[in-house]
Amino acid sequence: MKIGIIGSGIVGQTLGSALADRGEDVALGTRSPDRLGDKRGWGKSLDDWLRGVEHRARIVSFPDAAAHGEVVINATPGTVSLEALALCGTGNLRGKILIDVANPLDFSAGMPPVLTVSNRDSLGEQIQRAFPDVKVVKALNTVTAQLMVNPAQVAGGEHDLFICGDDERARKEVAQLLEQWFGWRNVIDLGDITNARGTEMLLPLWVRLYSMLGTPMFNFRVVR
């Protein structure tokens, strides 16, 4: 499958590597495809990343990544997602599923971080409103990048992933893709995109648990 990833930091790199490793046709989109030697946030340089995936993926611009994807993944920091997606070009996204894995977390004032949008709105909703012809499915934003692509690393995968979005068929397709790609067996479909409020507002607790546990390799299980 042709997959366009918007964002080349640790999240985009981790998703891109995992998808390229399983033979998907990945275009990793970056704002600066001419600066492959620069280290990317908590990720590697894109030169190193390309070596890591043995050049079975391409590094391209945001618009080219969006145009390439049959499915597009927003892996940018939530604080810049709307701007980054605007750079992709509306026409390159139209009609497609956009898996939004971003969180609108602002760490600039230290801990605890704050959400730049929350409660009465969410980043998922903002993206859906800005791109009404795109099928936004919020997913994977409640787990760390390494766990997104391999849930079995924690408790054999016996924990839950929350997804939501306004298009029911798109949600079902994303749930299937996440199982095929990464082995997610426990996906809880919350319904429409307003539920992104709930999953994004889980992040302050998540960040605190990360700090307490000393590892991001954990997740929530809904126990009945």
CB of 221 to its own copies, least distance (A): 4
- 113 secondary structure, DSSP code: P
CB of 120 to its own copies, least distance (A): 6
178 with 161: CB under 8 angstroms?
yes
Residue whose token pair is 């980054």: 84
SS3 string, 43-78, reads CCEHHHHHHHCCCCCEEEEHHHHHHHCCEEEECCCH
Considering only 33, 63, 89, 204, the residue that binds its own copies (CB under 8 A) is 204
Our finding on whether 218 is near its own copies (CB under 8 A) is: yes
Provide the mask over 58-97, with x wherever binding to its own copies is found by CB under 8 A and - wherever it is not.
Answer: ----------------------------------------
Provide the 3-class DSSP secondary structure of residue 3: strand
Q: Is residue 155 left, alpha or beta, with left meaning phi > 0 and alpha meaning psi from -120 to 50? A: left
Our finding on whether 129 is near its own copies (CB under 8 A) is: no
Our finding on whether 208 is near its own copies (CB under 8 A) is: yes
d(CA 202, CA 143): 10
Query: What is the footprint of its own copies within residues 135-174 (CB under 8 A)?
Result: 154-155, 158-159, 162
Residues that bind its own copies (CB under 8 A): 112, 114-115, 118-120, 154-155, 158-159, 162, 188, 190-191, 194-195, 197-199, 201-202, 204-209, 212-213, 215, 217-224
